[in-house]
Amino acid sequence: MSERLPHAPRPERSDAVNNRAHILEAARALFSTEGLDVPMREIARHAGVGPATVYRHFPDKQTLVAEAFADKLSACRAIVDEGCADPDPWRGLCLVIEKICELHARDRGFTEAFLSSFPGVQDIAAGRAYTLNAVAGLAQRAKDAGHLRPDFVLDDLILVLMANKGLRATSTTTRVAASRRFAGFVIRAFAT
């Protein structure tokens, strides 16, 4: 009697792989410019697929948001890790503020996902928690070194991101330049 071998999962068809890539590309572009309120049907239209194809790959919007922003979460984590690794906590905190503001200025949807409790997106919630905990530790080190205002609280950073989100410009380049100026003002306000 022969033993049955488990079936290997079938590889995805190339058109399915391409459709998934087009959906993610469309979602990232629309979330970046329009925010998270973009309907799934609009994402499907921009991807050149039907709504059923979008739902076949991403059963709900939360799944699509998590996948669309996975790279941004990794970039955010890398920024925070870089800032925390700096032996000068004030310089590290300044780097984090500057680079996080720029990252958020480039993508309105990521800012909305990061700042909100977008239902069911555990990856974003975990990424936000990691970022905020790491920045809290870095801020405490900067306070202990006498460079950060003693009345700074982590909610101040959330307010900075909310204000940075409000920057409006006709191009990403202009928005990023405005974000850099804003980050400079914030850093000066936070310094002792």
Based on the domain organization, do 87 and 181 belong to the same domain?
yes
pTM of this prediction?
A: 0.83
For 116, the domain range is 70-190
Cα–Cα distance measured from residue 188 to residue 192, given in angstroms and rounded to the nearest whole number:
8
In sequence order, which ranges of 48-121 are alpha helices (DSSP H)? 51-57, 61-68, 70-85, 89-105, 108-115
Grade residue 160 by pLDDT with cuts at 50, 70 and 90: very high
Grade residue 16 by pLDDT with cuts at 50, 70 and 90: confident
The percent of residues above 70 in pLDDT, for the chain, comes to: 90
Mark 14-24 as b/e (b = at least 16 C-beta within 10 Å): eeeeebbebbb
CATH number of the domain residue 47 falls in: 1.10.10.60
- Checking if the pLDDT of 35 tops 70, the result is yes
Question: Is residue 57 in a domain?
Answer: yes
